[in-house]
Amino acid sequence: MIAGRTFRSRLIVGTGKYPSHAVMAQAHEASGADMVTVAVRRVNIADRSTESLLDYIDTNRIFLLPNTAGCYTVDDAVRTAHLGREAGLSNWVKLEVIGDERTLFPDNEALIAATRILVKDGFVVLPYTNDDPIACRKLEDAGAAAVMPLGAPIGSGLGIQNINNIRIIREFSKVPVIVDAGVGTASDAALAMELGADGVLMNTAIAGARSPVQMAAAMKHAIIAGRLAYLSGRIPRKLYATASSPLEGVIGT
């Protein structure tokens, strides 16, 4: 549950970089996601032939989350968020204020400022941030409805780079924690959930897989498995063995 709204799935997926809109729709179905992200971009005035993304998303079943991808300043992010709200069906926004082109790491200072502005403008803000527990705390204080620390750079497929920080963020946060960015394969998603994340957001891991539809299904299972494992109270890690079978009654002793 985020900002009073309940979602059936803890997996949020993107709509970018798929081989086709049709494959995207199949992957969404396989993933079980009921929230997807979209980007806000200028209409291509010259080329009106491109298919509309929304023809492939049933917005009665799937909640659209506009993002502010590509924004490097508070001003651009706030403008884009407002445009996204106007074009879309809700006041939710995945807020991104990017600090660097190569890493696409967030500019936390600008992100926190933009969060404050958009919260005041009535938005439900889900900020994409890094694995810094202090930045997450400041975002929460600024009114973010959730915090979304990255696992690794967007599209990198490196998995969770800072396991301890994600765990700490989960411990400190009173709002939902969604690991967003860097997931590469199913075990990365499962790990995020085992660390206590409330959800995982991914795009490239599915869209860029050799079989996006199959990977979407894998991710669906990974999220479920990771969450169940987290709730089940795992055994502690030990340096040496503790036998699982009884020590007495062995023949030949």
Partner 1 sequence: MTITLNGERHEITEPMTVDALLALLAIDPRRVAVEHNRTIVRRPRYGEIVVDEGDTVEIVNFVGGG
Residues that bind partner 1 in the complex, under the rule CB under 8 A: 14-18, 21, 24, 37-43, 45, 48, 52-54, 64, 66-67, 69, 79, 82-88, 154-155, 181, 201-204
Which of 77/154 has CB closer to partner 1? 154
Nearest distance from C-beta of residue 171 to partner 1, angstroms: 27
User: Is the Cβ–Cβ distance between 187 and 152 less than 8 Å?
Assistant: no
| Cα–Cα distance for residue pair 103/208, rounded to 1 Å | 18
Please state, in angstroms and as integers, the Cα–Cα distance from residue 25 to each residue in 125, 140, 200, following that order: 26, 33, 19
Q: Among residues 131, 119, 70, 74, which one has the least CA distance to residue 93?
A: 119
Nearest distance from C-beta of residue 211 to partner 1, angstroms: 18
Nearest distance from C-beta of residue 79 to partner 1, angstroms: 7
Which of 155/199 has CB closer to partner 1? 155
Is residue 199 within a helix (H) or strand (E), and if so which, with residue range?
A: strand 199-202
Among residues 17, 94, 138, 174, which one is catalytic? 94
User: With the CA atoms of 136, 140, 146 and 149 taken in that order, what torsion angle do they form, in degrees rounded to the nearest 10?
Assistant: -10
Examine the residue annotation and report whether 220 is marked as an active-site residue of this protein. Answer: no
Biggest CA–CA distance in the chain, Å, is 85
DSSP state of 180: E
Nearest distance from C-beta of residue 199 to partner 1, angstroms: 15
Which of 43/235 has CB closer to partner 1? 43
Catalytic residue numbers?
A: 94
